């Protein structure tokens, strides 16, 4: 479960305070799929980053699996995030000097998983990149880079996946494949999936939609017929996504 309680984020610049988030409160149940929507500047990405422990709110608390992450130090938060949270950035954030397989192996090595390279290869094969493992990010298309990012985020099989505009830099067909991969991880492993998106169709495929405006939670709704239960053609064979254990 994810519990966000009275979370505010205020930034100060040039002696002027700007409220990014204002007393946001909600709970997300385990295994739920949730879209966070709203206009640009509404605080969506800031909220997602706070939920991942990438930043600390000005006030309020955030609990993941019953643990208050807002009280953790940086090193403790990094360890906790490796175990509990996979984060997918819109701009991929792959390490440019590492190959695809090396990028995916990084969280496995940090977690002390044996045969990290072999397991990273299995993960890349599961997202349809068995022939691109030794390529560097600059040699991959946007869709391929995003699939590497998904494999890396799920490398240690965290129970929570957070994705910031996962299709924002992709064409519609490639974006659909990436979303189907994320939904497959949710279906197959009970992963709690929370994503930020501007795409109304994508949002409607989630079980729940949180709408932000001007830093406030404007609405919290359940789509009448969420299409998350409907599957797109699955070219990525994500059913074979391997279970990674230490």
What CATH number corresponds to the domain at position 193? 3.40.50.300
Q: Which residue has the tokens 């691109």?
A: 132
pLDDT at 145: 93
- Average pLDDT value for residue range 24-49: 95
HSE-up of residue 202 (Cα within 13 Å, Cβ side): 26
Q: What is the pLDDT of residues 222-236, one digit of tens each?
A: 876 555 444 433 434
Strand partners, 208: 34
Output the pLDDT for position 86.
92
Residue 177 lies inside a defined structural domain of this protein:
yes
Whether residue 67 lies inside any domain: the answer is yes
**Pure H helices in 111-171:** 116-126, 142-153
What is the pTM (predicted TM-score) of this model? 0.87
Confidence grade of residue 245 (pLDDT, cut at 50, 70, 90): low
According to DSSP, residue 55 is labeled S
Q: Is 202 inside a domain boundary?
A: yes
Q: Which of 189, 188, 164, 190 is nearest to 36 (CA)?
A: 164
CA atoms within 13 A on the CB side of 148: 31
What is the per-residue pLDDT across 70-123, written as a single tens digit (0 to 9) for each?
Answer: 999 988 998 898 889 999 988 889 999 999 999 999 999 988 888 999 999 999
143 domain-assigned: no
pLDDT in tens, 143-153: 899 999 999 99
Q: Based on the structure, what is the number of domains in the chain?
A: 1
- The whole-number pLDDT of residue 226 equals 55
Structural domain span for residue 82: 2-93+158-240
The mean pLDDT of the chain is 88
Residue 180, in any domain of the structure? yes
- The answer to whether residue 231 is domain-embedded is yes
Structure tokens at 7: 């979370």
| 140 lies in some domain | no
Asked if residue 71 is part of any domain, the answer here is yes
pLDDT of amino acid 39: 92
Residues 6+ apart with CB under 8 A from 98: 106, 136
């Amino acid at each position: 479960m994810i519990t966000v309680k009275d979370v505010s984020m205020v930034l100060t610049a040039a002696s002027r305070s700007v409220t990014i988030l204002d007393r946001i409160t909600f709970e997300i149940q385990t295994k739920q799929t949730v879209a966070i929507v709203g206009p640009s500047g509404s605080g969506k990405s800031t909220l997602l980053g706070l939920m991942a422990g990438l930043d600390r709110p000005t006030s309020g608390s955030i609990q993941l699996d019953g643990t208050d992450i807002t009280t953790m130090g940086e090193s403790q938060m990094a360890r906790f995030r490796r175990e509990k949270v996979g984060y997918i950035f819109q701009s991929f954030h792959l390490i440019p000097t590492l190959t695809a397989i090396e990028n995916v192996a990084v969280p496995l090595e940090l977690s002390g998983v044996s045969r990290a390279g072999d397991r990273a290869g299995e993960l890349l094969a599961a997202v349809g990149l068995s022939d691109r493992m030794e390529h560097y990010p600059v040699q991959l298309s946007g869709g391929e880079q995003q699939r590497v990012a998904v494999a890396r985020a799920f490398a240690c099989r965290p129970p929570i996946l957070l994705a910031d505009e996962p299709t924002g830099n992709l064409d519609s067909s490639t974006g659909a494949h990436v979303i189907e991969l994320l939904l497959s991880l949710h279906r197959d492993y009970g992963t709690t999936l929370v994503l930020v998106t501007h795409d109304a169709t994508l949002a409607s495929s989630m079980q729940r939609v949180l709408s932000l405006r001007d830093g406030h939670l404007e609405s919290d709704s359940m789509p009448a017929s969420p299409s998350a239960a409907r599957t797109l053609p699955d070219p990525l064979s994500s059913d074979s996504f391997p279970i990674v254990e230490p």
